[in-house]
A and B are shown apart, each in its own frame.
Chain A
């Protein structure tokens, strides 16, 4: 029997392992890897947000990177204008969630089918890409932040809340971003065990039946869509802080594809799977890219096709299923033995 949603206790166990990892990381990895990790954490928050909206809400959002990019741009613009990062992070999450709510209203209340939704979200992301690429020139600016067109705009580093002079060091930034990832993970893990989350899961399983039970499925879908967009915006913040600038490439087709690939590989219906997949695939493609042996697109495309055809449920659910099967087998063996014993006794 496959569980429809994870247990909150499992989430906490994973979160405490992650805390342990955070504390040990500086003594295991080189300093350079720690700096890279901040970007990857940003990306894995994106993967988490897609895992939430697709794996649990059943909303097939192909353009999750649109919200990720909006978060990154909103953070950069806001941090330059207000001169501090704490408020800018909130603005980034709000901007992404607001945009998602507006878009979601048209999409969910129009009752568009899954495929239409996928294509529309992807198109939104692509059009943002071509829009942001055309914003080079001094006339395109918000406050004192130039949007910078193709080259993008610089993202200020994080600072101590309330004191915009005290910038965080790379190691501290790593701690903060890891903390944000763990918080987002625990929040998402908690959300799917609440009533709201359960209704979302039931919409994923059978939308018609859920609406016949009296739930306004449009509203629930809109809700989980907006929440996940906010989380994606948070991912965008840490990504652009890690890279120190944000370019229109966050909206590109490749970025959207990456998010989908992480979730497919990690598995729909889990939250930790896509996060782990992000880390593994990021370092895999980075090492492949540095060796110049194979084109990254080629590898990612191959992975996507192979997973869709052969491992459609993803790595983590497949492993979980295998364990379940083994447990069931063991259990049935025990039962068989007990029955045999009983028979033996009754005969004897």
Chain B
């Protein structure tokens, strides 16, 4: 019984982890149909913000929850103004330019901090025990944060003026700009918000994984697959795809060891996309956000 409970908790954590690393990407993709290939590097920058801040004596909670999203959000703002805004409507060029950006970020961080990390911050919060099994308290905290984050995005989209305008732009950007909405400004805000969420995710994961200049590569494969399988609806897509793929990954990792977990995840996603080329939300929950 304890085994199953612990396994369930692991799977829920896997789902939450997947949702966390994909949400920033999903926000940008859902709003702007732009796949940001530098997404992994935004996560990495969030991690580095936390490491640098805590090394300089700043409280770890403050640096994870406030500083990381703030710094990466600002970087996102700069990137959008300097690079992405010139490439709207040129999807492939956007992909390529953000890929170049990702290499640039890796290069810059490697030149500043070196290719390996010298400090590892230990995850705060201790462990909790369930029967014979122990689980990390920080992982539970992550699950909690993901739920709060999803709720926050939902409430913002549904009940604020910005959310209304954003949804209008998402549905039909031409119509929205005819009605006097500055879509360029909306895109700018969305991109920085997406970056900020990625920064938060990177900051949250830094104590678990440590930071490296090329750590983004670990996340982006899974994040892309989740977002594409989810389809264009930001919340429903990310949540449904994370639940499906996270469970597959969790179960397969438990059965075969970690080696085939990701392969099973990818395989499921490819079969899923063969059946529903526009993702889960292209087929179901079409009215959702």
Chain A positions within 8 Å of B, measured between CB atoms, are: 60, 62, 103, 106-107, 109-116, 118-120, 122-124, 126-127, 129-131, 134-135, 252-254, 257, 260, 264, 294-305, 308-309, 312
Choose one: B107, B217, B221, B277; the contact of A299 (CB below 8 Å). B107
Given contacts A115-B91, A118-B92, A305-B101, 10 further A-B contacts (CB under 8 A): A106-B271, A107-B273, A114-B91, A114-B92, A130-B221, A135-B259, A253-B214, A253-B217, A257-B99, A299-B107
Contacts A298-B111, A299-B107 known; A305 to B100 CB distance under 8 Å?
A: yes
B128 on the A face (CB < 8 A): no
Residues of B close to A119: CB separation below 8 A? 35, 224-225, 228
- Cα–Cα, bound, A229→B199 (Å): 36
Residues of A close to B258: CB separation below 8 A? 134
Residues of A close to B111: CB separation below 8 A? 294-295, 298
B104 on the A face (CB < 8 A): yes
Choose one: A116, A126, A253, A264; the contact of B228 (CB below 8 Å). A116
Residues of B close to A123: CB separation below 8 A? 221, 224-225, 266
Q: Give the dominant DSSP class at A's interface.
A: helix
CB distance from B116 to the nearest CB of A (A): 14
Q: B103–A300 contact, CB under 8 A?
A: yes
Q: List 27 A-B contacts (CB under 8 A).
A: A106-B270, A109-B274, A114-B91, A115-B35, A115-B92, A116-B273, A119-B35, A119-B228, A120-B228, A123-B221, A123-B225, A123-B266, A126-B221, A130-B218, A130-B262, A253-B102, A253-B220, A295-B108, A300-B100, A300-B103, A300-B107, A301-B104, A301-B105, A304-B97, A304-B99, A308-B87, A308-B93
B157 on the A face (CB < 8 A): no
- Cα–Cα, bound, A63→B104 (Å): 20
Choose one: B107, B263, B269; the contact of A131 (CB below 8 Å). B263
Residues of B close to A103: CB separation below 8 A? 270
Q: Give the dominant DSSP class at B's interface.
A: helix
Residue picked from B97, B103, B275, most chain A C-beta under 10 Å? B103
Contacts A110-B277, A123-B225, A252-B217 known; A296 to B107 CB distance under 8 Å?
A: yes
B96 on the A face (CB < 8 A): yes
Residue picked from A103, A129, A298, A302, most chain B C-beta under 10 Å? A298
Q: B266–A110 contact, CB under 8 A?
A: no
CB distance from A259 to the nearest CB of B (A): 11
Q: A127–B262 contact, CB under 8 A?
A: yes
Interface range on chain B (Cβ under 8 Å from partner): 35 or more
Q: B220–A126 contact, CB under 8 A?
A: yes
Chain B positions within 8 Å of A, measured between CB atoms, are: 33, 35, 83, 86-87, 91-93, 95-97, 99-108, 110-111, 214, 217-218, 220-221, 224-225, 228, 258-260, 262-263, 265-266, 269-271, 273-275, 277
CB distance from A122 to the nearest CB of B (A): 7
Residues of B close to A120: CB separation below 8 A? 224-225, 228, 269-270, 273
Nearest residue, chain A, Cβ from B93:
A308
CB distance from A16 to the nearest CB of B (A): 34
Contacts A106-B274, A297-B103 known; A308 to B108 CB distance under 8 Å?
A: no
CB distance from A35 to the nearest CB of B (A): 26
- Cα–Cα, bound, A273→B274 (Å): 35
Residues of A close to B93: CB separation below 8 A? 308, 312
- Cα–Cα, bound, A150→B10 (Å): 27
- Cα–Cα, bound, A83→B103 (Å): 40
- Cα–Cα, bound, A106→B33 (Å): 22
- Cα–Cα, bound, A182→B10 (Å): 53
Q: B221–A257 contact, CB under 8 A?
A: no
Q: B218–A112 contact, CB under 8 A?
A: no
